[in-house]
Amino acid sequence: RLVKCFVPSTCPAITFCRKMARYSSSSLRAMSTGQAELKKMNLVGAVNDGLRIAMETDAQAVVFGEDVGFGGVFRATAGLQEMFGKERVFNTPLCEQGIAGFAVGMAAMGATPIAEIQFADYIFPAFDQIVNEAAKYRYRSGGQFHVGGLTIRTPYGAVGHGGLYHSQSPEAYFAHTPGLVVVIPRSPAQAKGLLLASVRDPNPVIFLEPKALYRAAVEEVPTGDFTLPLRCAEVLQEGSDVTVVGYGAQLRVLQAACDRAKAELGASCELIDLRTILPWDAETVCASVSKTGRCVVSHEAPVTCGFGAEVSARVQESCFLKLEAPVRRVCGYDTPFPLSLEKAYLPGVDRCFAAIKETLEF
């Protein structure tokens, strides 16, 4: 776990990772599991299954947070205390700073803490522990100490009725912090594979779960132990006219917008899921934009200084001579998250489709 993850892009491990990301999800899952046994799961069930396997395969793994012993507000930890006992799955006080600080201390002593922040909106009291302690622990000790076993899970994003304090997307705050890995899955199979990879990664990981998708749909998920590569984007749909980039819950919106663009405009959209936004796979995105000449990036978080701004800047720097149109960002507005105007606030299918159309017609 003393191995650093932030290595040059020419590193053989990163090159292998990018090659792996070219495979379809089904092929990658088959390679990872080495078995064909699948089970239908929703996203919260896949997270629960991933936590179970993490604890079965690592005797130092511990799960804790507000109400997790009872299964948690979303039931993501249901049944784990009965399986592994109260010493490994336990409730904490309602103190996010304490949860994160306790997790940092456990990881520093060699344990594998998997801490839950009940809602991403309430992660801000823990910001100092995450950004100033966990992220810098290895660097400030010259590699002598680390908290690489630390994973912090938290549900993020709109849910339809969350309002100001249960709908936010804080990923960009953490993407600005060297030393962290920030992961956001889009589906049940991705959630399980990426969660297990996060728990086993030699760096502290912020694992953001799109709560709107917890029970939105089911898919077949391998029942065994498998991981999916971090730091690697996945091309979900190949295309030639425009590159469309997103992550997490926004992928279902972008897929619908791409389908509409094909039906109404005859447009061929290349859809990319970033999956990890720190470090993010700029090489895959820029290779796609160099091919299509156009790029649309979308997320729920506010547009100003959202992660889409980083994608836009990097594409402009790397693909300027190949661009046929300005990079478009389709994001939340620069306001607090509104309860009564949630549908207008969110970058829905209509707004994403309009951005694709305008980019193609530029």
Q: What are the backbone angles phi and psi of residue 239, rounded to the nearest 5°?
A: -155, 175
CB distance 260 to 266 below 8 Å:
no
Give Cα 90 to chain centroid, integer Å: 25
Q: Which of 66, 133, 146, 166 is catalytic?
A: 166
Asked if residue 4 lies in contact with residue 138, where contact means CB atoms within 8 angstroms, the answer is yes
Nearest to 237 by CA among 181, 186, 276, 301: 186
SS3 292: helix
Calculate the CA dihedral of residues 29, 31, 33, 38 and round it to 10 degrees. Answer: 50
264 catalytic, yes or no?
no
What is the rounded CA–CA span in Å between residue 218 and residue 45? 9
DSSP string covering 56-114, please? HH-TTEEEEETTGGGT-TT-TTTTHHHHH-TTTEEE--S-HHHHHHHHHHHHHTT-EEE
Q: Check: CB of residue 122 under 8 Å from CB of residue 155.
A: no
- Cβ distance 104 to 60 under 8 Å? no
> Which candidate in 66, 96, 209, 234 is catalytic?
96
Rounded-to-integer distance, Cα 311 and Cα 175, Å: 12
* 166 is an active site residue: yes
* Whether the Cβ atoms of residue 22 and residue 281 lie closer than 8 Å to each other: no
* Bridge pairing between strands 89-91 and 276-278: unpaired
Looking at the chain, list the stretches that DSSP marks H as alpha helix, in order from N- to C-terminal side: 12-21, 25-33, 43-57, 80-84, 96-108, 127-128, 137-140, 171-175, 188-200, 250-265, 282-292, 307-319, 342-345, 349-361
**Catalytic center residues:** 96, 166
